[in-house]
Chains A and B, each alone.
Chain A
């Protein structure tokens, strides 16, 4: 069964460094999302992406964050200058073009900022 994949599974970085989290959505999906979950907290929406542009973003998704679909398969989240509070599990999700369909989530990347 097709699934969303994410790499790396765990990323450790120093504060102020740039990180890129990678996702490969399910191949026929058209909507892509990033969410994050700080340890012990709710899963929070960051950004949605459709037709090669951001369609919606939360207040968390500030200028330090960017997303890109550099080719036909990958979907990336870049954090330009990481802060301690960016430490979280980051989930990628994707959905077909049908508006009523469910979102499928990847296994997540655990980001630790030291």
Chain B
């Protein structure tokens, strides 16, 4: 059974710092991996999607990497800002015939960027 783990559960950094959020998954047979941002009491905003054949994706100050064989992904945030404060969720989509792509989520890393 696929399990997704995110470490650390919470992270507090000063503004301007570069940081890395970690995601690990137990079954390497994934179709893709998606990183989301969730603000308190709000929905999920998709940040980056990495296909299983890709090694990384970039969007602005965000860079996500994927090492499928070791079951790991990282989300790198450059030059963090207070507006980056949120919970970051990692989710994997299973890869098996007939799957309509339901996502399996980690519990998230709660990021706080102090001014």
Contact = CB atoms under 8 A, between A and B. Distances in A.
Contacts of A65: none
Given A31-B101, A48-B102, A103 B34 contact: yes
B69 interface: no
A42 B43 contact: no
B102 A105 contact: no
Interface stretch (A67-75, A77-85, A94-102): A94-102
Contacts of A102: 32, 34, 46, 49
Contacts of A107: 42-43
Given A103-B46, A105-B43, A45 B103 contact: yes
Contacts of B105: 42-44
Q: Give the secondary structure class of A's interface.
A: strand
A9 B56 CA distance: 35
Contacts of A58: 102
B107 A42 contact: yes
Among B32, B43, B99: residue with most chain A CB under 10 A: B43
Contact of A100 (B32, B41, B108): B32
Among A42, A50, A55: residue with most chain B CB under 10 A: A42
Size category of the binding interface on chain A: 20 to 34
B43 A91 contact: yes
A45 B92 CA distance: 12
Contacts of B102: 33, 45, 48, 56, 58
Contact of B99 (A56, A95, A101): A56
Among B44, B89, B102: residue with most chain A CB under 10 A: B102
A25 interface: no
Contacts of B100: 31, 48, 50, 55-56
Interface in B2-59: 31-32, 34, 36, 41-46, 49, 51
Given A48-B100, A48-B102, A50-B100, A100 B107 contact: no
Contact of B101 (A44, A91, A103, A110): A103
Interface of A: 31, 33, 35, 41-45, 48, 50, 55-56, 58, 91, 95, 99-108, 110
